[in-house]
Structure 1
């Protein structure tokens, strides 16, 4: 899974996601399925993606009491996806319950990776301080939440590229850093605040990239996706 580039299927319905994949010859690429699409399409979406050999990151960001999260993860594990996530702010007991639910629901030999969301890449420091009441820097809070997730049995975290190196120092090289907010140099940042290019991501120790609008809004999405992969693989702008 390390080195994968997940394409965010940020479409409202399955037919649009199918059309985008097929028209742009992106069959079989790893994909991220978020709340918008999954809540609308559910199991038929996951089944179609699996039949077409897509690795799946199911990005639902669970955050609830331990029992609810454990039961939800047990159900999600049955789907056979490759990676799922929770909010690290749910605390250690919730993360441990998520791990238990995945183990209980997974088929033998196929445990989805459990990833914890730290501080959203759309958030700025003053918002975190003043609205959430979390003091200090985004990086310090992200590292703290990453260590909490690591000690609670998570396989990795979602974080911004610029925080990945500091997380590796605390949690070790095998702890996965999944980094959204990836943009090619000619792409707009949109609502992501802490963004970076694939080359910067490689340099900073990211393990897995998530790309969305830098590909889906490109004139030629297939070429844009290949440019991300090339820059990510070689650590330089293509």
Structure 2
């Protein structure tokens, strides 16, 4: 996966809205994320349309089920030709191992399987929510690092985490392990329903492998300009 490109979260309801958003970018190489809303509406068709536009693709479905079910689902997803997929680390090591096996079995001979990452805790999760609602008594950071270690031991390529946890994760895993960090905002943008947020510059400083950006681009008055601002900040290029 291309770590230099910010991943744009295509949080739209239909293919038509998505393609209309992408049109001003012309033929620029983009890395995009398709989440539940868009995929459940359009299915594999949206992946085909985005591949025709030469986008790199993160299919963000956060699978979390028994190992056999996840294994079979990953076989199907591998055939779509996406670059990055994910599961919930809370599904445990057997489930994560089954996901890797499914991807490998579903990838065509001679092709590289999609990278697989595990969601540790959503960036909307706070310390209070973790303890009082989810009944996880360990601190949030310890929980995220523990899940990350289990993901690496299970053969995954990385995790989804907040920017603020990337450094602690790299104290426990290999440098090649991916930390894909959503909750990215420009300094003047609202956090909305995210709790653990950061700017692209902070993400770079703290060692994130990749950043996922949604509303700061998709809701901007000029999405192309907003994307360019974020890309340059992510690359450490002053404007």
- Bucket of the pairwise TM-score, normalised by the shorter protein: over 0.9
How far did residue 58 of structure 1 move?
Answer: 0.2
Distance 2:138 2:71 in 1: 31
1:143 aligned residue: 145
- Which contiguous aligned blocks of 4+ residues in structure 1 show a shift greater than 2 angstroms? 1-4, 23-28
The reply to whether residue 17 of structure 1 matches residue 18 of structure 2 is yes
Distance 2:173 2:220 in 1: 36
Long gaps (5+) in structure 1: none
Is the contact made by 1:142 and 1:163 (CA closer than 8 Å) also made in structure 2? yes
Long gaps (5+) in structure 2: none
1:66 aligned residue: 67
Distance 1:177 1:129 in 2: 24
Alpha-carbon displacement from aligned partner over 1:43-97 (angstroms, at most 9, x marks no partner): 1110010111000000000000000000000000000000000000000000000
The reply to whether residue 200 of structure 1 matches residue 221 of structure 2 is no
Is the contact made by 2:24 and 2:224 (CA closer than 8 Å) also made in structure 1? no
Is the contact made by 2:27 and 2:53 (CA closer than 8 Å) also made in structure 1? no
Is the contact made by 2:220 and 2:226 (CA closer than 8 Å) also made in structure 1? yes
Is the contact made by 1:202 and 1:235 (CA closer than 8 Å) also made in structure 2? no
What pairs up with 1:79-118 in 2 under 5 angstroms? Answer: 79-107=80-108, 108-118=110-120
Distance 1:121 1:48 in 2: 29
1:120 aligned residue: 122
Q: What's the RMSD between the two structures over aligned residues?
A: 1.2
Which deviates the most, 26-35 or 219-228?
26-35
User: How many aligned residue pairs are there?
Assistant: 237
1:162 aligned residue: 164
Equivalent in 171, 186, 189 of residue 188 of structure 2? 186
1:52 aligned residue: 53
Distance 1:27 1:94 in 2: 37
Describe the SS at the equivalent of 1:132: coil
How far did residue 135 of structure 1 move?
Answer: 1.1
Alpha-carbon displacement from aligned partner over 1:82-113 (angstroms, at most 9, x marks no partner): 00000000000000000000000012222000
2:227 aligned residue: 225
Distance 1:4 1:105 in 2: 27
Is the contact made by 2:103 and 2:113 (CA closer than 8 Å) also made in structure 1? yes
Alpha-carbon displacement from aligned partner over 1:163-198 (angstroms, at most 9, x marks no partner): 001111101210000000000111111101000000
How far did residue 137 of structure 1 move?
Answer: 1.8
How far did residue 235 of structure 1 move?
Answer: 6.6
Distance 1:8 1:26 in 2: 18
TM (normalized to structure 2)? 0.96
Distance 2:27 2:17 in 1: 13
Equivalent in 168, 172, 175 of residue 174 of structure 2? 172
Distance 2:81 2:131 in 1: 38
